[in-house]
Amino acid sequence: MAAPTRRPRPPAPGARRIETAARRLFANHGFAATSMADIAAAAGVSKATVFHHFRSKRQLYASLVGDAFVGFRDQLLPLLDAEGDVQGSLRDFAAAHVERLTRMQGTMRLIAREMLSGDAGAGDDLVSGEMSRNFSLLVEALRRGQASGTVRADADPGLAVFLLLCSSWFVFQTSALVRRNPDLAVAASTDTYATELARLLYFGLAPGAEPGGKEVS
């Protein structure tokens, strides 16, 4: 299947109800266990109405996922400016990422479920499409920082992006547990979490010195 591309938001209330219902059902039950009849019933429309707006279950699913990844690219990628204030941009990106994950819980849980479920085909769409493209664009941002001298030349940009994304995903997925863990009190506040994560990623764990060897003031 081709990578999902941006599309105009369907203006009809029926289409919006279908998307809302489908998002919830896909997130709760997975792609394979959700039928178009289930979606129609949950949306309060006929099955024919669902097919009027979306030609197949796969197209409906891809539309929901594609919109989420295009939104990620539009809203979050510009925040990672690795040629300027790297630590500040890491902080802003992490804070905005957690906020987006929290605000779009239904879509994000849908994506997480499909990545982990092993349902045939669903994970392939995520890995080969917009998700992969967004990851590569973030890596390229750090590589530009390496070329301009604001990011360590020997750092692995792919691993840095992976850690940045995974940390926020884990905070989002386990927020109830994180809030009760005294050793993770830093994650109770999004701003504090983002600030400390950016500082840790930028300076590492080496005591008394930045990665470039300068003393930390």
Mean pLDDT of the chain: 83
Buried b (16+ CB within 10 A) or exposed e, 149-165: ebbbeebebeebbeebb
pLDDT tens digit sequence for 26-79: 888 888 889 999 999 999 999 999 999 999 998 898 888 888 888 889 999 999
Res. 194: pLDDT tops 80: yes
Q: What is the pTM of this model?
A: 0.76
Res. 155: pLDDT tops 80: yes
- The crossing angle, in degrees rounded to 10, of helices 57-75 and 13-29 is 90
Q: Is 141 helix (H, G, I), strand (E, B) or coil?
A: helix
- Tell me the average pLDDT across 149-174: 93
Polymer length in residues for the chain: 217
pLDDT tens digit sequence for 73-115: 999 999 999 999 999 999 999 999 999 998 888 888 878 776 7
Tell me the HSE value of 209 on the side-chain side, using a 13 A CA sphere. 5
For 5-46, give the DSSP string.
---PPP-SHHHHHHHHHHHHHHHHH-STT--HHHHHHHHTS-
Per-residue pLDDT, 124: 59
Per-residue pLDDT, 119: 55
Q: How far apart are CA 123 and CA 150, in angstroms?
A: 35
- Tell me the average pLDDT across 2-11: 45
Res. 164: pLDDT tops 70: yes
Per-residue pLDDT, 167: 93
Compare 41 and 208 and report the one with higher pLDDT.
Answer: 41
